[in-house]
Structure 1
Amino acid sequence: MMASPNFGHLVIRNVRLPCTDHSEASAWDIACLGGRVQSITSSGSCIPHEEAAVIEANGGVLVPSLCHSHIHLDKCFVLGQCDPLITGSLPEALKVTNKAKAEFPKDVNNLYARATYLIRESVESGVTAMRAFVEVDTTVGFTCLDMGLQLAKEWVELCHIQIVAFAQEALYESADSTEPGPNYNLLCDAASRLDVSVVGSAPWVEPDRAHALKNIELILSLAEKHDLHADFHLDYNLDPDTVPMVWDVLQQMRQRSWCKSSGKRVAIGHATRLGLFSGEEWAELKRATDILPLEIVALPQSDIYMMGRADPSGRVPVPLAGRTINAPQVYRDHGVRVALSVNNIENAFTPQGSLDPLTLASLGVALFQVGTEPDWRVLLRSVSTTSKEAIGIMHGGSVSGKPADEGDGIVPRVGDPADFVVVHGARRWQSAVLSPGFDRTTFYKGNVVARRRAQRWNANTGGEITH
């Protein structure tokens, strides 16, 4: 892990780009000045700025830096602190996690160490932006929030970390409650913190649908009051008889005249119920999101693990691929962009998986059975540029570089932020999706912020080789 002292001035030599024409076989030099792309020229033709560092990519593939559009900073790697899982169900996950969470304030060092490991491993894999949820409630108070805000400051030069003041627990204490309880009062205090970027909740934990709708209203009001993004864990079911609450969120946004020009967005995470949408429903959602800044973030590692379990008769109601939103198909058929994100690692909600967003793209190839390059581009975009758009930080350039301007943000353009990851050893851009290699270099604001190399040995070589 490192930050190079060139103040955003560098040249990345001999990289391959994810172009769709024959230029993908060509190598390019990317010159960056002041943290933005200055020029894109054929390899060997760039004359570096006198203050620029020169990074040799040796033919590796350069793609946009990656983004966790939805990840939990406080509940990562906590499975070993939970009671053993017996059923693997969602109610059990809530129960054992709540028990483990009660210990967080007693061991802040452990909380900090787990979160730090998550950030470090993420940056080394190519992540330069993340939306990090930290819980605020009567169990943990502001312990998780304080930890998250501290880490966001410590890592500010290497990664943009949006802290979400998040209410995992109900804001209303019972079905008889007419006013929100102490969890809401704590959330109000958290939302007023200077460096909090987002306020969020899980409306489905409320005692009934009426209180879930009130939860949504409260969160949107808090977001408006403090000029924050809003983010909901929403429509986390596969019940065709349950009316999706995304329509209620959109209605609230219309009533509040929430517009894209404000720069503040509303995201819904999981949203597995949307996977049951008809073509007409997707068309309606597309019309709404063309006007309103609503973003969808699917969480495949959690959704596939938790959703669609067999009923008491042994029947599996939803096939594996239907347990999370099929991002390539939804874009191909309906023009709706869906971000993909990691969500959790090694906890009761998601025991398995990787922190590396490129593994989500690779998983999507098999899960959604997509074998075409346009679909692979959607998957790559879903863990990079689409995820950045979902958290409101994507800003495109205005002038095209020499490679064909793909129009999907995957190929860099002059004026773009110099936020990239080079996947070394990948001689084709498709490899970044199909078989993403371990060796990588991460660039943020035109600086090298991380290098990751594997150490290899085998009996035929007779010794160690470090790349």
Structure 2
Amino acid sequence: MPLPSLTPVKSIQNVRLPGKDSTWDITISPRDGTIASITPHQPQDHHPISTAPLALPALTHPHIHLDKAFIHNTPEYAHLLPSTGTFAEALSSTTAAKRQFTRADLLRRGEWLLAGSVSAGVTAMRAFVEVDQTVNLTCLEAGITLKKGWKDACAVQIVSFAQDPIFSGEYGEGNRQLMEEAVRRPQVDVIGTTPYVESTVEAGKRNIEWAVERALECDKHVDFHLDYNLDTKTEALVWFVLRTLKEKRWTVHSTDKRVMLGHCTRLTLFGEEEWGRLAREIRENALPVSFVGLPTSDMYMASPPSEMGHDRSRGTLQVLNMINKHGLDAAIGINNVGNAFTPWGSEDPLSLACLGVGIYQAGTQANAELLYECVSTRARAAIGLSSPASGLALSKGDQADILLFHDVDNTGCGVSRPRHGVAGVVWDPPPKAGRDVVAGGLLKAPTCPRSADHFV
């Protein structure tokens, strides 16, 4: 299994930092790969500040499917390419694809995802792998292998994920038994389920209760695919999740494990009163709940029932409004790459932050910085890999997961165009060849010719 070449770094010199004048040197502790100091750069020669790379916190995938990535890029699955593009077709064709999954195939496509993500600047991800009667534990075991192999370049949180029903249907009980076995494995960090695929609302609620109970029992995070519809006639199960968390006494005072709610497109139909109630229940009960919007999948898949007469509408969580107006904890994630659920887009989280400018009509510099946080520091905290503090400042004691952006010529014409500040890299993400990635003080083999000037 090919792995990225990683080199220990003692210091990163002559870099720009967000919100700071002049340039800076970042010293890294060889003992634990954390930032030991950040001090003003003392130039030996005169170099204009504008030529120094911008150093920012590395990127994070808070929600991505490892086992289903790049199905469309694999010849063996060519007969399963979309013909209608519907959610029902995506479910059925993915089930058919899963019957063909092999360990070698899973490792190959998983490496594509990890390599592309790391080269973009991702040093942490929450990766879903499915466990059910179709694949048994094959996806889980491949995910664990990838987690171990890539651990120095990327912290991979493994989600044992029930995409299929565990309380209804012909295979519900068998699926649940497999999940019972899987979630107890020490390499599994998160229990994930999909309550809305159950045949009844009551079965969906049993799904939620089971996941919460097992997560508390096994000391795992829990992550729900939830309320993935735009139907006012459908009960929003977010209220049942909060009620269950309160009844089971899952609070920040009793556990450091977190709860993530993904998709939640039904919540876009909430009025101000419901949003206010949601924020109050989470805050007043000290519930460690985060939301993740998945715009590339949501805009492609989440549409209202056809009888509502406007089936061109699409819904995705208004993440910036949730943060700014209601004080909720939220991030954005890629979800799927190259499969029937999301046939468009790439594995680069920065492209998602760029898309967010249009989705949320968020054109200010402050909004660009918040969007970067949503695929970086906020995303990392939401999956429980750092403290809830947000922002883009690099600080002494932080893990040295750092992404550098260089101004490089990617035209072949000898012309390089600068991007100024965080807003510049969000509005028009630079190519991967202009990025250097440091994970825990280890530098991935650089692709930028200017890299040697900045690393010691």
Question: What is the TM-score with the length of structure 2 in the denominator?
Answer: 0.87
Partner of 2:414: none
Paired letter, 2:65: H
The aligned residue for residue 199 of structure 1 is 191
Over residues 217-250 of structure 1, what are the superposed CA-to-partner deviations in whole Å (9 max), with x where a residue is unaligned? 1111111111111111001011123221111111
**Deviation of 1:5 (Å):** 3.3
Could you tell me how far 1:312 is from its partner in structure 2? 6.2
> After superposition, where does 1:35-46 map in structure 2 within 5 Å?
35-44=33-42
SS in 2 for 1:260: coil
How do 1:136-175 residues align onto structure 2 when only pairs under 5 Å count?
A: 136-174=131-169
Distance 1:244 1:127, change over 3 A: same
2:396 to 392, 403, 414: 414
Whether the aligned pair in 2 keeps the contact of 1:70 and 1:341 (CA below 8 Å) is yes
Q: Name the structure 1 match of 2:348.
A: 356
Could you report, residue by residue, the CA deviation over 1:336-390 in whole angstroms, capped at 9, with x for unpaired residues?
2311000100100000001000001000111211111221121111001111111
Which residue, out of 248, 269, 272, partners 1:256? 248
Check whether the contact 2:8–2:441 (CA below 8 A) recurs between aligned residues. Answer: no
Q: Distance in 2 between matches of 1:289 and 1:156?
A: 33
Change (3 A) 1:215 1:450: farther
Which of 81, 84, 87 aligns to 1:84? It is 81
Contact map agreement 1:15 1:58 (CA 8 A) in 2: no
Q: Post-superposition, which runs of at least 4 consecutive aligned residues in structure 1 deviate over 3 A?
A: 452-455
The answer to whether the 8 Å contact 1:199/1:230 transfers is yes
* Pair 1:118 & 2:113 matched: yes
Name the SS for the 1:451 alignment partner.
Answer: coil
The alpha-carbon deviation at position 45 of structure 1 amounts to 7.0
Task: Quote the residue 1:448 is aligned against.
Answer: 443
Structure 2 match to 1:32: 28
Q: Superposed, which structure 2 residues align to 1:28-107 within 5 Å? A: 28-33=24-29, 34-44=32-42, 59-79=52-72, 80=74, 81=77, 82-104=79-101, 107=102
- One-letter identity of the residue aligned with 2:424: S
How far apart are the structure 2 equivalents of 1:353 and 1:92? 19
In structure 2, C-alpha distance between the alignment counterparts of 1:169 and 1:158, rounded to whole Å: 31
Change (3 A) 1:124 1:450: farther
Letter in 2 for 1:331: I
Instruction: Give the paired residue count.
Output: 421
Inter-partner Cα distance in structure 1 for 2:373 and 2:243: 29
Alpha-carbon separation, structure 2, partners of 1:118 and 1:84: 19
Equivalent AA in structure 2 for residue 286 of structure 1: A
- Deviation of 1:285 after TM superposition, in Å, equals 2.0
Distance 2:268 2:303 in 1: 12
Letter in 2 for 1:424: H
CA displacement 1:152-194 (0-9 Å, x = unmatched) = 00111111001011110101233xx9x9611000000001112
Distance 1:430 1:87 in 2: 37
- Measured on the aligned residues, the alpha-carbon RMSD in Å equals 2.3
1:277-336 Cα deviation digits (max 9, x unpaired): 222222222223331011111111100111126836863363x5xx11122222222122
Question: How do residues 182-197 of structure 1 correspond to structure 2 at under 5 angstroms?
Answer: 182-197=174-189
Greater mean deviation of Cα atoms: 332-341 or 75-84? 75-84
Q: Distance in 1 between matches of 2:442 and 2:391?
A: 20
Measure how far apart 1:58 and its partner are.
5.1
Counterpart residue number, 2:453: none
- Whole-Å separation in 2 of the counterparts to 1:11 and 1:58: 18
In the other structure, the counterpart of 1:403 is none
Tell me the distance in 2 between the aligned counterparts of 1:350 and 1:18: 33
Deviation at 1:453, TM superposition (A): 4.0
- 2:195 and 2:445 mapped to 1: Cα distance? 38
Comparing 248-257 with 275-284, greater Cα deviation is found at 275-284
Q: For 1:243 and 1:389, locate their aligned partners in 2 and report how far apart those are by CA, in whole Å.
A: 29
- Offset of 1:78 from its aligned partner? 0.7
Unaligned runs of 5+ in 2: 408-418, 451-456
Tell me, in whole angstroms, the C-alpha distance in 2 between the residues paired with 1:395 and 1:452. 31
Letter matched to residue 98 of structure 2: K
Looking at structure 1, the residues matched to 403 and 395 of structure 2 have their Cα atoms a distance apart, in angstroms, of 15
Give the aligned partner of residue 229 of structure 1. 221
The AA in structure 2 aligned to 1:134 is V
Question: How big is each residue's C-alpha offset from its partner over 1:262-281, in whole Å with a ceiling of 9 and x where there is no partner?
Answer: 11111111111122222222
- Give the letter for the 1:40 counterpart: I
**Letter paired with 2:182:** A
- 1:92–1:415: structure 2 CA closer, same or farther, 3 Å change rule? same
Give the one of 5, 10, 22 matched to 2:8.
5
Question: Is the contact made by 1:124 and 1:452 (CA closer than 8 Å) also made in structure 2?
Answer: no
Paired with 1:85 and 1:276, the residues of 2 have a C-alpha distance of 29
Task: Give the deviation of 1:108 after TM superposition.
Answer: 2.1
AA aligned to 1:11 is S
Shift of 1:60: 1.3
Shift of 1:18: 1.9
AA matched with 1:126:
G
